Chain A
Amino acid sequence: MKKIFILSVQPFAGKTFLTIGLLNKLIEKGYSTGYIKPLGLTPQLIGNSVYDTDAVLIKELFKLKEPLDIISPFVITYETMNYLLQGKLGDIKEKIKDSIAMMKDKDFLIIGGAGNLFTGAILGMDAFSFVKETGSKVMVVENFSGDSTIDNLIGLKKLIDKNFLGAVINRIPQEAFKYVKENLKSFLEQQGIGIFGLFKKDDILESITVRDLVALLGGRVLCCEDRLDELVEHFTVGAMDVDSALKYFRRIPNKAVITGAHRSDIQLAAMETSTKVIILTGGTSANDVVIAKAISKGIPLVSVEQDTFTTVDRIEFMLGKVRIKEPRKIERLKEIFEGSFNIEGFLEALR
């Protein structure tokens, strides 16, 4: 069994993205492929046990037979953390190793890393220790960050040494793609760092559903309840005059517009462009004429209590941290992987 550990220098770099993509590719090629998430950071209650959200999603997605107790052996929660601090928890490491052992008949085991390089150090399970002890090969997913991407990858290769398998670079801006492909990639490959995928920044993958947005903001939906599963890719604030707003709105597809409830002009301008939801701040409702128009256009209006500044603040906190879970995003992920991931190169490197 080949063990592949998915790692990133920083959190929210795209580990779940790479995990799902790899699993999908390997299964498609007919390999028996298992998955575990040894250390969970985002708990989700299933029945009366807590598991990692990713683990729950991936088990469901690939119809994995192994029970969640094996796929997600341990999750850091408020409670487990307290036990850890008090030294009252049993041998987590053993539990995890047991999980891995259960998978021994698979061709491949994808091991989802969590957080950053040091996550899990409290259990003696930071990425470096884990990889060394389990003899996993490391696939790095790197969030493109200009020239520091080069340093990050060279640095990791040096630290992980012979267990370093290769990397993919994620969220590359359209403008920089040519440069990354022509200059950066070949340079890294000369340094012995296999780059198996270059992924452009993708609006759909970065999107959030209107429903999740409403939950995040504690909003009240005024109309178009049936449109809450639409994906919002961008956020804009409408506080300018309506002509400027229109110019600005036109450039931004599939967006949420945040504006005051009294700005009926901005709300109508938003409806004339590609808009998935209009968030009315300040707690008041919209004008009847505007609601009628929103219904005819199928654009939900959501009233939130907080002011525009607070609303934007909450959204900003969430940006870049959205999870992949909606079917449309999974489809998109597979599409991107199909076109931009070098599976043959990856398998070759594993041999």
Chain B
Amino acid sequence: MVDHLFKPGSIAVIGASREEKKVGHAVLKNLLLAGYKGKLYPVNPKAQEILGIRTYSSLKEIISPIDQIVVAVPPPLVVETLKNAVEVGVKTAVIITAGFRETGPEGLRLEEELKDIARKGNIRILGPNCLGIINTAIGLNATFAAGTPPQGKLSFFSQSGALGIAILDWAIGNNIGISKFISLGNKIDLTELDFLEYFMNDPETEVILGYIEDVVDGRRFLEIAKRATKIKPVILIKSGGTEHGARAASSHTGALAGSEIAFEAAFKQTGVIRAKTIQELFDLALFFSSKGHRPFETQEKINSYYKREFEGQSPSKRLPEGNRLLIITNAGGPGILAADAAEREGMDLPLLKKESIEELKKGLPGNASLYNPIDIIGDADSKRYRFVLEKVLMDEGFDALLVILTPQAMTDVKEVAEIIVEKAKETSKPIITSLMGEAKTKEASLMLRQEGIPSYTYPEVAISVIRKAVDFYKWKNLHTEEPEELQGILKNKAEEFMNSFIKDKRTDITEADAMDFLSLYGFRFPRRSLAKTAEEAGTIAQSIGFPVVMKISSPEILHKTEVGGVKLNINSREEAHEAFLEITSNVKRLFPHAYIKGVMVYEMIKGGKELIMGITFDRTFGHMVMVGLGGIYVEVLKDVSFRIVPVSRRDAFDMLEELRAFRLLKGVRGERPADIEAIIDQILRLSRLAMDFPEIMELDINPLVVFEKGAICLDARIIISHLNEGGNR
């Protein structure tokens, strides 16, 4: 159906207008100017002819079949129009008209009506409240943007119509080719998911770009995006990542998007390249759409890519296969800036082979730097660029090449650019350029882009783009992991526990209840027992073995330490006795009415490294697993990472590697490393738990103490929902 939307054989423009300032006029004009190849029917009951085309008074007056209507009449008339369209068998409707949900209850009611008509009449809708649609291949520009971009291989969907206009104008101004453009509007029918899926399979699309404020179905987004990114780059801007941004987005769309951490995790887990700014979106689009970096040209090639992937071969020749970057520069300062940027982005600056360096030495001035960055000095002419490019391209010891140029009086910028184009043809490695300046470099820069060599003004930008290309290459070559079978899970028993929590209408499961429940999923806790008297505490402590920890047990007291409800390092029967009296007195004094179950006596765990882990629930993507550095600095350092469930073994490892504390886990200054495998096992168990028990809305294990061998949880808290939000078991 989406195909019909992009390739209609005939279009009726409902609300075509003679007045130039009106949307209905702009749309018709764009269709004409873009050279739309199908049949065009302006509909306007008051006009005979608009822009030289015969006009119809209504849809029903048109005898030939109509594939698509583009609607630009006031909101109340849209309903009638859509009904007529269904009657005459129109397949798709692009509703540009605004004034629906975004304007309040009456608009919402009209919108609901449209939805209903569409569902019953089997007609697909783009919008309403959108900018329209473009498919350059057939001259379809049913938008009210100013002009049509050149034909190309970028396809773009945008939740903001106005941002779409800016992108189209950028494409026109920079001669960037666009294949398809979609403004999503209120998304009452077709959404970003439909277009992501369509662009994924569309042979005319090589790079997918998108601007989103939320996604309609997080789970489906994950599923489609994961497949799409294996075929072509998907570059998205997701706005509303800050508190104020999110608030602005919510009053724009009337919907709450998933949290920023969930989107971050979603992009990592699907290989979506995230652009943080519009500038970055442009920069990345430039790289991935450059001819030299086009991974596939036809559906055949996509198919052959799948075949090759099974054979374990690298699918793309023009993506950096690793993070080794070679920099050539004629300017010292920018070379240093580039080196700084490279290190910050985690790129490696390898040295060339000894032989290559010797070769370089022969043709470069004595004060040139032969290492990386290779500085060929400010007076370098085009010959010197040619020489150095020839020599370095013979060396295999890098994955991508950045050529920097500043325009000195003796630099022939144009000639250098031509040499780069020529040399690029001789290598399979990606070459990216930074021609710094404006007046003297602009023309050469555009020429490079024309020839498929990405060119940026600043080296930092070039390097951040390369970094994302390296990550994309890695992602494409990862094999999908199957979920693992975990040992020692007693799901049935755990279900009994959960059912009893729900029956008792409990939302907060803490202390022994949480521990008993989690033990059924293979989480280990210290040995423990509840004491009701001081005497009993002594006996229990003795049987557990000293030292022990004692904690007040009361569902009403959450912060036990703060009220003197915790005693550590108890070493004798007498101390246990005393601790019992002290803890119960402290609590009675501060919480005279709290219900106290007793005092819990625990085996005391010493040593090890403290982590926290848990489960949270995101409104868009569902359950996520979290792991982070534990201890008293948690709140300050916020060293945590998240993934959406199901979490694979590789995801779990990535989560740990992302932590700044990872180095601590690996051991510093001669320490033995912590048991990483044990942590990964616990992460996988949490993921399993979240999948098996969607009623868990939140779960904290704090701390998880990890030893050289094994790990143990010291405390846990679970929040469950009775409202079936997380889904059914």
Q: Chain A interface (Cβ within 8 Å of chain B)?
A: 145-146, 173-176, 179, 223, 241-243, 246-247, 250-251, 253, 263-265, 268-269, 272-274, 287-293, 295-296
- CB within 8 Å for A253 and B247 given contacts A174-B504, A289-B104: no
Q: Which residue on B lies nearest to A175, using beta carbons?
A: B555
* Max count, chain A CB within 10 A of own CB: residue among B101, B104, B246, B259: B104
B104 touching A247, Cβ below 8 Å: no
A174 adjacent to B253 (CB under 8 Å): no
| B: contact size bracket | 35 or more
Report the nearest B residue to A294, measured CB to CB. B105
Q: Is there contact, CB below 8 Å, between A265 and B595? A: no
Residues of B within 8 A of A (CB): 101-105, 107-108, 112, 243, 246-247, 250-256, 259, 504-508, 555-556, 592-595, 597, 616-617, 619, 697-698, 719, 721-723, 725
Are the C-beta atoms of B506 and A223 separated by less than 8 Å?
no
- Known contacts: A179-B595, A250-B697, A268-B256. The answer to whether A223 contacts B721 by CB under 8 A is no
Minimum CB–CB distance for B298 against chain A, Å = 43
**B-side contacts of A145, CB under 8 Å:** 593
Our pick among B103, B254, B594, B698 for the contact of A290 (Cβ within 8 Å) is: B254
Given A250-B723, A291-B104, A296-B108, 13 other A-B contacts at CB below 8 A?
Answer: A146-B592, A174-B506, A175-B556, A241-B243, A243-B259, A246-B619, A251-B719, A265-B251, A268-B250, A290-B251, A290-B254, A292-B108, A293-B108
Instruction: Give chain B nearest CB distance to A256 CB in angstroms.
Output: 16
By a CB distance below 8 angstroms, the chain A residues around B595 are 146, 173, 175-176, 179
Residue of B nearest to A241 (CB): B243
> Nearest CB to that of B504 among chain A residues?
A174
Bound state CA distance, A65 and B452, in angstroms?
96
Contacts of A296 in B (CB 8 A): 108, 112
Which 5 pairs, one residue from A and one from B, show the smallest C-beta to C-beta distance? A288-B104, A289-B254, A292-B108, A176-B595, A264-B251
Among B108, B508, B595, the one with the most A-chain Cβ atoms within 10 Å of its Cβ is: B595
Contact call B101/A289, Cβ cutoff below 8 A: yes
Whether A265 lies near B697 (C-beta < 8 A) is no
Residues of chain B within 8 A (CB-CB) of A246 are 256, 619
Say whether, besides A176-B595, A292-B105, A295-B105, A251 and B721 are in contact (CB < 8 Å): yes
CB contacts between A and B, total, < 8 Å: 92
Q: How far is the CB of A251 from chain B (nearest CB, A)?
A: 5
Q: How far is the CA of A146 from the CA of B591 in the complex (A)?
A: 11
Q: Is A289 a contact partner of B251 (Cβ separation < 8 A)? A: yes
B642 to chain A, nearest CB (A): 12
DSSP majority for the A interface?
A: helix
Chain A nearest CB from B4 CB (Å) reads: 29
- Expressed in whole angstroms, the Cα–Cα distance for A49 and B432 within the complex equals 93
Partner among A242, A250, A263 whose Cβ is within 8 Å of the Cβ of B721: A250
CB neighbours of A263 from chain B (8 A): 247
Question: CA of A293 to CA of B246 in the docked complex: distance in angstroms?
Answer: 17
Q: Which of A146, A179, A265, A288 contacts B247 (CB 8 A)?
A: A265
**Which has the most chain B C-beta neighbours within 10 Å: A175, A250, A269?**
A250
Chain A: CB-nearest residue to B259: A243
Residues of B near A293 (CB, < 8 A) are 108, 254-255
Asked if B102 and A288 make an inter-chain contact with CB atoms under 8 angstroms apart, the answer reads yes
| Residue numbers in B under 8 Å from A173 (CB-CB) | 556, 595
Distance A263 CA – B246 CA, assembled complex (angstroms): 11
Question: Are A291 and B506 in touch, CB under 8 angstroms?
Answer: no
Give B617's nearest chain A residue, CB to CB.
Answer: A250
**Is A242 in contact with B256, judged by CB distance below 8 angstroms?**
yes
Query: Which residues of chain B come closer than 8 Å to A269, judged between CB atoms?
Result: 256
How distant is B660 from chain A, measured CB to nearest CB, in Å? Answer: 22
Q: Which residue of B lies closest to A203 (CB)?
A: B505
Is B104 a contact partner of A273 (Cβ separation < 8 A)? no
Which chain A residue lies CB-closest to B595?
A176
Are A272 and B253 in contact (CB-based, < 8 A)? Answer: no
24 of the cross-chain contacts (CB-CB < 8 Å) are: A146-B595, A173-B556, A174-B505, A175-B595, A179-B595, A179-B597, A242-B243, A242-B246, A242-B256, A246-B256, A247-B698, A247-B719, A251-B508, A264-B247, A264-B250, A264-B251, A265-B247, A273-B725, A288-B105, A289-B101, A291-B105, A292-B254, A295-B108, A296-B112
CB-CB under 8 A from B504, the residues of chain A are 174
Contact check, A268 vs B506: say whether CB atoms are below 8 A apart: no
Q: How far is the CB of A184 from chain B (nearest CB, A)?
A: 11
CA distance A247 to B506 in the complex (A): 16
